[in-house]
Amino acid sequence: MDWLLAGLGNPGAEYARTRHNAGFWALQTFAERTGASLRMESRWHCLAAIVQNSGQQLGLCMPQDFMNRSGAAVQAMAAFYKVPAARILVIHDDLDLPPGTARLKWSGGHGGHNGLRDLDRALGTRDYWRLRIGIGHPGHKDAVLHYVLGAAPAAEQSAIDAAIDRSLAVLPDFLNGRSDAAQKTLHSD
């Protein structure tokens, strides 16, 4: 397997349309566009698929534990397929980016994101790629939990969906070793 793409979110219908699930939305969209069927894999506790895309064999992983415990599923699937952390792309929501913005980033801190915090612990490293989907910030730290677990208004959701579309459009460059070109295109929006 060449890459593992992991979308972060919370499982269950009650969380499906919440901002914290932007990583799930992106991975589901990618799966649909590539014809992949995400199926429950109990050994990794995630919805998973293997797909060929852009000349690469890709593993897709949507952990089915809550966000703050999502690292185990990603680590287990990566270990099974012997995918090093440097070949993992984690797709997640980001409070520090406005809706409609997306950024590719190599390594770094978790910035208070509980999914990334757990992933850092599970992988034993921060050295993996991130695709950050902007969801905006409520303006005050005390409002963050309610905000990320709430649905975005229609205009914001449309901007988030557009950012996901632009992100998926640069994946072929990214997956084929042209991360600079992918970043330049994505970050120019």
Please name the residues in contact with 1: beta carbons below 8 A apart, sequence gap of 6 or more: 50, 57, 58, 59, 81, 82, 83
Give the separation between CA 8 and CA 68, rounded to whole angstroms: 10
Which uninterrupted H or E stretch holds 175?
A: helix 154-175
In the 8-state DSSP scheme, what is residue 108?
Answer: -
Q: So which residues are the catalytic ones? A: 20
Amino acid at 137: H
Residue among 29, 143, 61 nearest 95 (CA): 143
Return d(Cα 175, Cα 4) in angstroms, integer: 10
Provide the sign of the torsion angle of the four alpha carbons 46, 114, 89, 148, taken in this order.
positive
